[in-house]
Amino acid sequence: MTAAVQTGVAGFLVRFDAQRDRLPGDPRQRMAAADAFRRAGLPGASSGRREEAWKYTSLRPVADASFLQPVTTFAGDSRLLARLPRIAAPRIVFVDGQFSAELSALPAGVEVLRFADRGEFGTLARPDSEPLVALNTMLAEDGVSLSVPENVDAGLLLLVSVASDRAAFHPRHVIRLARGARLSLLELSVGDGSYLNNPVFEVRVGDDASLTHVRLQNEALAAFHLSTLYAEIGERGTYDSFALNLGGRVVRTEAHVRLGGAKGIAHLNGGQLLGGTQHADFTTVVKHDAPACSSRQTVKNVLGGRSQAVFQGRIEVARIAQKTDGYQMNQTLLLSPDAEIDTKPELEIFADDVKCSHGATVGELDADQLFYLRTRGIPDAEARSILVRAFLIEALDAVTDESVRGVLDRAVEGWWERQAA
Amino acid sequence: MLEIRGLSAAIEDKPILQGIDLTVPQGEVHAIMGPNGSGKSTLAYVLSGREDYAVTGGSVSFDGRDLLSMEPEERAAAGLFLAFQYPVELPGVGNANFLRTALNALRRSRGESELDAVQFLRLARAETKRLAMPEDMLRRNVNVGFSGGEKKRNEVLQMAILRPRLAILDETDSGLDIDALKIVADGVNALRGPDFSALVITHYQRLLEYIVPDRVHVLAGGRIVRSGGPELAHELEAKGYAGMVAEAA
């Protein structure tokens, strides 16, 4: 196989032209997405449009990177596979964006279909307004469509992405929970080298259904992880998500969640632990479109080195959405004078009987806590490390499943060990 | 063991301690009593190395070493312990882990081997039981959601496990009911011996019925205005601080 180097918007369009006849799904949707992507470009790159939604995050490094085409055949590096959690649960594994039957163990009681076979784009994603979703819709090759039938508790399922140097892939996932169904999904992304992982998720939580979605982004430090999720929550349905961002050079975790049935619940919690020159952007839009729904969001950042974090949280409350309970909090600990946080909450409220609050704190370690630890004989450096970990642990407490929490705890420990090394 | 000579200290240029002279010999328990604002807590913080206070004069020697030149953790390693008037909450830090980290830091500084989790828990459970504390206190985050009394007992638990040579108890009795007060006093009394000294700071004479001091000092206006035996505490109770301070002036 020959490897053609591609860069920037033009490179992705060339790749589309070369592959379009072989890609699954409706070609008209692909064409429309390609047009949208051509118009929008990559935000922050020279040809990209300047958009408010991308004010703090530039994809110029993505535009400047070169990826290999076609993707090298990668059987699964044993060192990478060794980093996958050893917990007893069914798993769906993708290698460089391609489903791997041999590494996967499919769950019982859940319908699992490949995007490569069906090409189902779903209906929630908006390629016309999101450049990365346009890119994904144009080039998506594989992904999974998961359906949990009515009143089935599918337990824990792992969704794993393993990537290798210079790969670029655009997974397309659809997750559906029928009425009363339950699923706990642990999404895990790891890799080696510089690559692009640009997934789009479409999530539908039916009436009385409950999805717990824990996302551990532990990509290689030179990788790009740009994820966009759309979720639609039914009556009394729950979407409970927690995203932990540890890896990646440029990262965007974007979620659009619509509470469309009464008494729905959405949790969009997260933690970002960054060092070096990492950049991670946590952007969410929660639409309260039905009465008596609640949304909760606590995102904590720990920033060292010259890292940058972005938090953009928007809550929209429609006129019909009386008795809305919305809460949003962004807390940041700056460990270095060169680290940066940009935080932008937005509330747009059209109902009159609602409870919505938001807040942001930025700070250094608490002097009283530090002194207390030191009076107990704990040296200054160790005391600081304890407090930084504690700050993040508080965020992790949102994850209640013990085995999943264990996976996150070990990943955080690994992050500290890498920093110390 | 502890020798304070002419100690003066200020916070934000406001003088608080104005020349304190005080000696606590090894194995003795001394009480410091005084009205609000007399400098009791400042003395405790200055001795344990809090940075907000500027020492403007005098010296403190601890076992012959210059205490004021040491970092807070070095003072702890030398055997000093401060039971806080307002114990600090540490969300996200488990009490057992915190205590083991502290104990092992002290053991390391003394060249002793560290305790593993099993050895530590055996010790911690025994002390928890002795102080009539619920065992789940070890599993909870440090002081988070603790009642005022539980926080004070947690200070005494730390002291019992860390085994200091000199403990400073800063109003450990405030906010305690009589049962909790007895438990705290028992915890301190259990440590008493030739290798343990304490400086018990209190506003009220009540605690001193349970922890009977060798000496009592009255602090007012940043100075020790009177010193005496345990009977001084009773005199204070009878006359009140105002009377005592007026007499001394």
* Domain boundary residue, one of A207, A238, A259: A259
Q: Within a domain: residue A359?
A: no
SS3 content of chain A, % helix, strand, coil (to 5): 25, 40, 35
**Nearest neighbour of B93 by CB, restricted to A379, A382, A390:** A390
Element (H, E) at A322: none
Q: Within a domain: residue A14?
A: yes
**Nearest neighbour of A376 by CB, restricted to B51, B71, B76:** B76
> Which residues are CB-neighbours of A133 under 8 A, at least 6 positions away?
A33, A125, A126, A127, A200, A228
Tell me how many degrees the CA angle B171-B174-B179 measures, rounded to the nearest 5: 120
How many domains are there within chain A?
2
pLDDT at A379: 95
Q: Within a domain: residue A109?
A: yes
Q: Within a domain: residue A302?
A: no
A50 CB neighbour count, 10 Å cutoff: 8
DSSP-assigned letter for residue A105: B
pLDDT single digits (tens) A121-149: 999 999 999 999 999 999 999 999 999 99
pLDDT at A52: 86
What CA–CA distance (Å, rounded) separates A185 from A204? Answer: 14
What CA–CA distance (Å, rounded) separates B112 from B98? Answer: 18
Q: Which residues of B touch A378 (CB under 8 A)?
A: 73, 101-102, 105
**Nearest neighbour of B76 by CB, restricted to A367, A377, A386:** A377
Q: Within a domain: residue A340?
A: no
Q: Check if A386 contacts B (Cβ < 8 Å).
A: yes
Entry pTM = 0.84
> Which residues are CB-neighbours of A271 under 8 A, at least 6 positions away?
A242, A243, A244, A245, A299, A300, A301, A302, A392, A395, A396
What CA–CA distance (Å, rounded) separates A1 from A10? Answer: 22
Q: What CA–CA distances, in Å, run from A200 to A49, A116, A182, A225, A254? A: 21, 14, 21, 11, 10
pLDDT at B22: 96
The DSSP code sequence of B129-188 is HHTT--THHHHSEETTT--HHHHHHHHHHHHHHH--SEEEEESTTTT--HHHHHHHHHHH
* Domain boundary residue, one of A210, A232, A259: A259
> Which residues are CB-neighbours of A17 under 8 A, at least 6 positions away?
none
Please enumerate, as own/partner, the contacts of B212-216 that have beta carbons within 8 Å and a separation of 24 or more. Answer: B212/B29, B213/B29, B213/B30, B213/B31, B214/B28, B214/B29, B214/B30, B215/B28, B215/B30, B215/B31, B216/B30, B216/B31, B216/B32, B216/B33
Query: Two tokens at B96?
Result: 């057992």
pLDDT at A231 over 50: yes
Q: What CA–CA distances, in Å, run from A361 to A246, A332, A343? A: 21, 6, 9
pLDDT single digits (tens) B156-203: 999 999 999 999 999 998 888 888 888 889 989 999 999 999 999 998
- Cα distance from B240 to chain A (closest Cα, Å)? 33
What CA–CA distance (Å, rounded) separates B113 from B78? Answer: 17
Query: Two tokens at A385?
Result: 């490390």
* Domain boundary residue, one of A259, A294, A311: A259
**Domain boundaries, given as residue ranges, for chain B:** 2-91+165-248
Phi, psi at residue A292, to the nearest 5°? 60, 30
User: Which domain covers residue A373, as residue numbers?
Assistant: 367-421
What CA–CA distance (Å, rounded) separates B44 from B242? Answer: 23
- Cα distance from B235 to chain A (closest Cα, Å)? 34
What CA–CA distance (Å, rounded) separates A133 from A147? Answer: 22
Q: Which fold has domain B2-91+165-248?
A: Rossmann fold (3.40.50)
Which residue of B45, B73, B98 is the best one to mutate when testing the A interface, meaning the one whose CB has the most A CBs within 10 A?
B73
Mean pLDDT of A28-42: 95
Domain shared by A251 and A386, yes or no: no
* Pairing label, strands B65-66, B53-62: antiparallel
Binned at pLDDT 50, 70 and 90, residue A76 comes out as low
Q: Which residues of B touch A386 (CB under 8 A)?
A: 93, 98, 101
Q: Within a domain: residue A294?
A: no
pLDDT single digits (tens) A207-220: 999 999 999 999 99
Q: Within a domain: residue A233?
A: yes
> Which residues are CB-neighbours of A2 under 8 A, at least 6 positions away?
none
Give the SS3 label for residue A177.
strand
Region of B171 on the Ramachandran plot (φ > 0 left; ψ -120 to 50 alpha; else beta): left
For residue A70, whether the previous peptide bond is cis, meaning omega lies within 30 degrees of 0, is: yes
Q: Do B93 and A367 touch (CB under 8 A)?
A: no
Binned at pLDDT 50, 70 and 90, residue A252 comes out as very high
A92: β partners:
A159
Domain shared by A43 and A180, yes or no: yes
Q: Which residues of A touch B48 (CB under 8 A)?
A: 375
* Residues in B lying within 8 Å of A, measured between beta carbons: 48-51, 71-73, 75-77, 81-82, 84, 87-88, 90-93, 98, 101-102, 105-106, 109, 158, 162
Q: Which residues of A touch B87 (CB under 8 A)?
A: 372
A204: β partners:
A176, A232
Q: Do B101 and A369 touch (CB under 8 A)?
A: no
pLDDT at A1 over 50: no
Q: Within a domain: residue A352?
A: no
Query: How many Å is the maximal CA-CA distance in chain B?
Result: 57
pLDDT at B17 over 50: yes
**Nearest neighbour of B90 by CB, restricted to A375, A379, A390:** A390
- Of B10, B199, B142, B139, the C-alpha closest to A378 is B142
Query: Where in chain B does DSSP place strands (E)?
Result: 2-11, 14-24, 29-33, 53-62, 65-66, 80-83, 90-94, 141-142, 166-170, 197-202, 215-220, 223-228
pLDDT single digits (tens) A368-403: 999 999 999 999 989 998 999 899 888 898 999 999
